[in-house]
Structure 1
């Protein structure tokens, strides 16, 4: 991970057919972005799109759209809203050169949580490890996924599911995509999440509002009901053939059955049956994500400066980025130390809980 000083390299910049739409997300952008990226976080309903005036950058090759970035200008900084997608260095460089040419007062451009590793670049930049996305490439059949899980994990999941079916009344697993019951189901799952033991997992009002909005059009929600109530749920979205898990929660009364993991497993199977290509478990390291055979993809923040002098002028931005990277490393260390099987958990777990309380009480 690079958290060192701002660096500069050199590379030629091409001259593609580029268009800017000022303070506008044109009507064609939604369908085109879903086709290009198939990603909830790189779409017209991505987080923060509606929080400020949003501009659109479009690259075309002939009549075909190759790239669409949504971005906001905040003073002398530009923030790109597309995230959680792989980007080539050339894509970033074309955008950066175009923005600097168009907006003379902009000193820095930031990409948030993208999968890239810059090598060779015209402008000074920072590349900081920011997050991760655990991605499961979906096989063609549920049987193939069962084989990929391995005997131990597959047998444990099946045993937990059968025990829950046997020892609870009215067991059912349902996928909700549309319909009048969607809002009620989302409310039940958010309630389970809010009442859970993990303070980091609780959703604030803005997060809940965004989730309800995006689920209304792209929702894919797996729900396990038992004993007449929701005992576990996984709130996901689907864009194209890709699925994204935003929230998983379960009723602690059912802890013995591991209903949360069972619900996720059944939701993944439902995605396979629908011809899914990828299932994104998103950020936050977890043992169960690896057991379900997802692979960790590192996501980086990229901050690009117009010049070395602008990098000096934006020293606060550079320092904050480095600080966030350091805090992330500390958080990951606490998460590892707080694992139940570690002797350090007795000390690390209270520290981690305090960390999350401070984070929740800090204004955004």
Structure 2
């Protein structure tokens, strides 16, 4: 898609209560819907991005869509992008995240929004995959999310072939020992409305238990758990491992289209010697393959270990684009804040690790 230059939009574009549309000579069109997000957008966003973190339903769970505009760009009549964004003060913040966008389409959106909304001075994106090579506009960029992504093959045999022989044998050994020592050991998968709140809370409780053994408190509050349950009923995939009908481990995932996203993995520390976490992960990957999944996102951290399953590290970046060089003060202030927060975060974690070491 060819970039639309901002000078084309220095004019009044009609904004009715229905739809505003503008056509450029290269068959690029856009539609802009005022709040709230139109209902028909839900399926289109899921089809286009296959990512739970930019679904309209999840935005509603977290209360984000009531005051959000919807921008649809089309190329030759086909939807190319859907951006859902809010305007707060002088900033337009895009709510879609963890998606890949070509640079030309970022420019198309930013230039159009800055032309339509004269009060907007900054357009902000969180955790996206785009490489800006043309400094057509002043911007800030910083790492937002570190991910590990597994591209899934077509079959269990292909997945097993990908694993190193030692790691594959280790997983098989874990399976044999678990079933030999605990004949009632079972792994089950549930999705959507099949998911039990009791099971979900039990798996989350295991996470809190595991963090407690490391001297950390749980980061999930009751409000967080209630939101997780609401999203699980829409996009959830729950792996539940039991021994004598008692939950000993499990995974909480989301699935949109052919992309599966891990949220929580936990197991009872009593079963560490069986490498239960590895076995649960392995069985979850196989389940995703059987569901015709193409990709699993495993979150950041433990890169070397996740690489044993074929995960590739991947960074997503946040961007803030500024209307003009006259916003230079805001640019430097944002840059300073990002650097300061990043520095203090590193200091905090290093200090916490040192204190835990001294208390052992």
Q: Does 1:349 align with 2:353?
A: yes
Match of 1:278 in 2: 295
Q: Measure, in 2, the Cα distance between the counterparts of 1:87 and 1:200.
A: 37
Show structure 2 runs of 5+ residues with no match: 7-23
Out of 266, 281, 297, which is 2:283 matched to? 266
Residue 94 of structure 1 pairs with residue 111 of structure 2: no
Deviations 1:33-82 (Å, cap 9, x if unpaired)? 11111111122134575246222111123442111011111211121111
Change (3 A) 1:126 1:210: same
- In structure 1, C-alpha distance between the alignment counterparts of 2:300 and 2:198, rounded to whole Å: 26
Alignment-derived partner of residue 184 in structure 1: 198
1:50 aligns to what SS in structure 2? coil
Q: 1:289 aligns with which of 298, 301, 306?
A: 306
Separation of aligned partners in 2, 1:41 and 1:242: 11
Match of 2:242 in 1: 225
Shift of 1:213: 1.3
**Structure 2 contact 177–274 (Cα < 8 Å) conserved:** yes
Residue 37 of structure 1 is matched in structure 2 by 49
Q: Count residues with an aligned counterpart.
A: 331
User: How far is the alpha carbon of 1:110 from its aligned partner?
Assistant: 1.3
Following superposition, the deviation at residue 351 of structure 1 comes to 5.0
- Relative to 1, partners in 2 of residues 1:180 and 1:130: Cα closer, same or farther, differing over 3 Å? closer
Distance, in Å, in 2 between the alignment partners of 1:285 and 1:74 is 37
Q: 1:119 aligns with which of 129, 133, 141?
A: 133
Sort the Cα spacing of 1:162 and 1:330 in 2 relative to 1 into closer, same or farther, 3 A: farther
Q: 1:139 to 1:200 in 2, by over 3 A?
A: farther
Q: Decide which of 188, 194, 202 is 1:174's aligned counterpart.
A: 188
Partner of 1:3: none
Q: How does 1:1-364 map to 2 (within 5 A)?
A: 13=5, 15=24, 16-46=28-58, 50-51=63-64, 53-197=67-211, 199=216, 202-313=219-330, 315-327=332-344, 334=350, 349-351=353-355
- Identify the residue that residue 5 of structure 1 maps to in structure 2: none
Task: Report deviation, 1:12.
Answer: 6.0
Where does residue 357 of structure 1 map in the other structure? none
Cα 1:312/1:90, change in 2 over 3 Å: same
Separation in 2, partners of 1:113, 1:330? 23
Contact 2:206/2:266 (8 A) holds in 1: yes
The alignment's C-alpha RMSD in Å is 2.5
Within 2, Cα distance between the matches of 1:201 and 1:286?
Answer: 22
